[in-house]
A and B are shown apart, each in its own frame.
Chain A
Amino acid sequence: MSPVTVTVALLVGVVIWVLVARRLTARSWETGSEAGDIAAVRMAPARLGLWIFLAVVTSLFSLFLSAYSMRSHHGDWSHVMLPDVLWINTALLVIGSIAMQFARHAVGRGLLQRLKLGLIAGGLFAIAFLAGQLVAWGQLRDSGQFVQGDPATAFFYLLTAVHGLHLLGGLWVWGRTMKRLLQGVEVVDLRLSVELCTIYWHYLMLVWFALFGALLYL
């Protein structure tokens, strides 16, 4: 369980550090002790909410990965023959993330056309990634490896499915942002949504790297 322990310890550490940096040592029984204590986190609530949510999801994926890692250290472990299409999918996800970053850059400058381009491309590449994952599932299934098989294969389906679900959640928010964009909402008002989508896309990419790496090497 060491990866979990480390991750959670890190997360808890970060939380504590953030709090400590905000003067957990204030002598609050003395009046006037608020001086210099910057109490609130200066961030849009939705953004803070997203970060906390991502911390929860990180905990979730770390636990899936530690389960995977614990199981893979038993003697009888055999690796899944990963379909090659996963490499193409990885590339699609990276491009999607880059496109989102492009959109974020554009929304900061109020460039509507570029924003549209980036946002649409970001979403489409994510959808393409999902389609690619389904292709990978199909190939693996055709080669006779399905969930009832050995644990490694079951883990492959499980990890990719959870990641896929996570991505679908992102696409739902992306869809709402797209709808508002197409309805002609001012670019300024889209800024937060686009930024949050971008954070989410980068996060999805990092999680996929971790999962893919584990599937390849653990």
Chain B
Amino acid sequence: MAYVAIADRDAPIHDPHTFIEKYVWSQDHKVIAIQYALVAIFVGLVALVLSGLMRLQLGFPESFHFVDPSHYLQFVTMHGMIMVIYLLTALFLGGFGNYLIPLMCGARDMVFPYMNMLSFWVYLLAVLVLLSSFFVPGGPTGAGWTLYPPQSVFAGTPGAGLGIILMLVSLAFFIVAFTMGGLNYVTTVLQARCRGMTLMRMPLSVWGIFMATILGLLAFPALLVSAVMMTLDGTLGTSFFLPATTSMGQPLDHHGGSPLLFQHLFWFFGHPEVYIVALPAFGIVSDLLSTHARKNIFGYRMMVWAILAIGGLSFVVWAHHMYVSGMNPYFGFFFATTTLIIAVPTAIKVYNWVLTLWKGDIHLTVPMMFAIGFIFTFVHGGLTGLFLGNVTVDLPLSDTYFVVGHFHMVMGVSPILVVFGAIYHWYPKITGRMWNVKLGKLHFWFTFLGTYAIYLPMHYLGILGVPRRYFALGNTVFIPDSVHTINKVITIAALIVAAAQIVFLYNLIVSLRRGEKAPVNPWRATTLEWQTPDTPPKHGNWGPRLPEVHRWAYDYSVPGAKEDFIPQNEPVDPRLGSGRDHGIRH
């Protein structure tokens, strides 16, 4: 086993001294992780406000005149794009990936720290370019987060001039940033693990982040390709995606482009993107459940294989987003089949989470509550996915609120619950302080129950046939009055959930100063990040000597052990043989 980046050392070398080196142009993975996380949470809040504005319009149409139809479309677009890419992808990989990979693998830092720093700054640039589109003439693009051409570049669409170009440029920057970060994550996992940390001893968090990064590295190029080609269509007048057509009654110069080509490219990225967000969540939630249930994760190997299988399969399901594009029925049949197959490894993971809880010594800490909440929301979102994965069921439901309910449950609420759980879980290590438990529980209940109040009724709206993307429903005949009532209720629930996030932010910020000092290992966890000599860990993480790993990450409640956890770096008693006795005296 090689550990390449920075090996054992007697004295710290090249430690940053000035404020700027430490916190601004930092090459320390922990600082970069925090930078990534803060920016991601900030844009996430912007997107949250946008969703609040959308809900105001939907719940109380004609009451808020500052939301006109153009603004509504722009809010939908920016909300979707920010939440999926600039918040979730950046937070899971740039934030948690950066923080956890070196610490959990027993490395001093990422393998290419300089590139890691660049990754953050290019990400920040991408965010700034994106946000700048709010301030240009015409505003941000309102093409929907999928940016389907030809409408995305047509004059009638909000932000069709500068807005869409800025969006595409920002995405291109994001992809560059992600590639620089991703190279680091993969190389670090493959090369910088400490002695004894075999692949099959890595915590599932690292597995999830690792596989998600590989998916990202292979899938983001599809978004780059479509972004480049659409930028050229919009600026140089090429016709990659634009057919001969008219806009606002005027014939355009374009001819010969294929809008369907864009859909294929976009979803070839778009579907793996779902798993880029989901796999880190799967990994992290596995560790949270195991740690707080004081029980080893059920079926560790199966969990790893499932992550790999999901990663592989996620590249052959993309066209299930395109059933309504008029595709060949056999094509649809193929993608429905692969879509249902991918449910198998996913279901294995769900069973294993539940079986991990079975007869565990469950501690209902705040991170654990979020982890268990995730199992609920993910099962609900996953089951509606089985509906939509079938062509015949998808066709009538595709353009309704059923889909909105489904994807928010499965890839909005579920990963966000894991993000919250993970922040509560690692906050003591990151800051050295504990947060307020009461506020944490309050935050959980409002968020968990509130999201059900928001998204469960949407399924019902969808089955009634209420179309999504509409600014206002007006007096449409088939829409009963109950729909308007439900929309009001959803809006009120959404505003309450949004307000509950203030409790979360308050808790995080105030606990920085007022929180109790956190013990080194408050959750009595086995993984390496809790075994650092300092809390929060210093530059180089491990002091003079790198840790050495002797066991897997899930030695909880081992029969006969002194405590109910054995850290990964706890040596095996040499007088005992190796094998199932966990290397401890009985």
Report A's interface with B, CB cutoff 8 A.
Answer: 1, 4-5, 8-9, 11-13, 15-16, 19, 22-34, 37-43, 45, 48-49, 52-53, 55-57, 59-60, 63-64, 67, 70-71, 74, 76, 147-148, 150-151, 154-155, 158, 162
- Binding stretch for chain A, among B361-369, B436-444, B502-510, B577-585: B577-585
Q: Give chain B nearest CB distance to A111 CB in angstroms.
A: 29
Do residues A37 and B199 form an inter-chain contact, with CB atoms below 8 A? yes
Q: Give chain A nearest CB distance to B177 CB in angstroms.
A: 13
Q: Which residue of A lies closest to B180 (CB)?
A: A53
Among the listed B197, B253, B304, B582, which residue makes an inter-chain contact with A148, where contact means beta carbons less than 8 Å apart? B253
Report Cα–Cα, A151/B552, bound state, in Å.
55
Q: Give chain A nearest CB distance to B277 CB in angstroms.
A: 18
- Chain B contacts of A39 at CB under 8 A? 1, 193, 197-199
Q: Which residue of B lies closest to A154 (CB)?
A: B238
- Chain B contacts of A52 at CB under 8 A? 182-183, 186-187, 217
Residues of chain B from 220 to 272 with CB closer than 8 A to chain A in the complex: 221-222, 224-225, 228-229, 232, 236-240, 253, 255-258, 261, 264-265, 268
Do residues B200 and A28 form an inter-chain contact, with CB atoms below 8 A? yes
- Chain A contacts of B196 at CB under 8 A? 34
Among the listed B193, B217, B264, B577, which residue makes an inter-chain contact with A1, where contact means beta carbons less than 8 Å apart? B264
Do residues B268 and A70 form an inter-chain contact, with CB atoms below 8 A? no
Do residues A24 and B301 form an inter-chain contact, with CB atoms below 8 A? yes
Q: Which residue of B lies closest to A76 (CB)?
A: B256
Do residues B187 and A15 form an inter-chain contact, with CB atoms below 8 A? no
- Binding stretch for chain A, among B118-126, B308-316, B380-388, B460-468: B308-316
Q: Give chain A nearest CB distance to B244 CB in angstroms.
A: 10
Any A CB within 8 A of the CB of B429: no
- Chain B contacts of A41 at CB under 8 A? 190-191
Any A CB within 8 A of the CB of B404: no
Do residues A37 and B200 form an inter-chain contact, with CB atoms below 8 A? yes
How many A-B contacts at CB < 8 Å in the complex? 182
Do residues A48 and B190 form an inter-chain contact, with CB atoms below 8 A? yes
Residues of chain B from 71 to 123 with CB closer than 8 A to chain A in the complex: 111-112
Report Cα–Cα, A154/B236, bound state, in Å.
10
- Chain A contacts of B315 at CB under 8 A? 5, 8-9, 12
Any A CB within 8 A of the CB of B530: no
Report Cα–Cα, A153/B197, bound state, in Å.
53
Report B's interface with A, CB cutoff 8 A.
Answer: 1-5, 111-112, 179, 182-183, 186-187, 190-193, 196-201, 214, 217-219, 221-222, 224-225, 228-229, 232, 236-240, 253, 255-258, 261, 264-265, 268, 296, 300-301, 304-305, 308, 311-312, 315-316, 550-552, 554-555, 572, 577-583
Query: Known contacts A45-B187, A70-B264, A148-B237; is A28 also within 8 Å of B201 by CB?
Result: yes
- Chain A contacts of B224 at CB under 8 A? 60
Q: Could you write out 25 A-B pairs with CB less than 8 Å apart?
A: A9-B315, A16-B308, A22-B199, A26-B198, A26-B199, A31-B572, A31-B578, A33-B198, A40-B3, A41-B190, A41-B191, A45-B4, A49-B187, A59-B217, A59-B222, A63-B268, A67-B240, A70-B264, A71-B261, A147-B232, A147-B237, A148-B237, A148-B239, A151-B239, A151-B257
- Chain A contacts of B2 at CB under 8 A? 40, 42
Q: Which residue of A lies closest to B197 (CB)?
A: A39
Query: Known contacts A45-B191, A67-B261, A147-B232; is A154 also within 8 Å of B239 by CB?
Result: yes
Do residues B217 and A55 form an inter-chain contact, with CB atoms below 8 A? yes
Do residues B199 and A19 form an inter-chain contact, with CB atoms below 8 A? yes
- Chain B contacts of A26 at CB under 8 A? 198-200
3 cross-chain pairs, A with B, having the tightest CB-CB distances, nearest first: A32-B578, A60-B221, A31-B583
Report Cα–Cα, A23/B199, bound state, in Å.
8
- Chain A contacts of B256 at CB under 8 A? 76, 150-151
Query: Known contacts A28-B552, A40-B191, A158-B232; is A33 also within 8 Å of B200 by CB?
Result: yes
Do residues B191 and A48 form an inter-chain contact, with CB atoms below 8 A? yes
- Chain A contacts of B311 at CB under 8 A? 12
Report Cα–Cα, A31/B311, bound state, in Å.
29
Do residues A29 and B296 form an inter-chain contact, with CB atoms below 8 A? yes
Do residues B579 and A32 form an inter-chain contact, with CB atoms below 8 A? yes
Q: Which residue of B lies closest to A45 (CB)?
A: B111
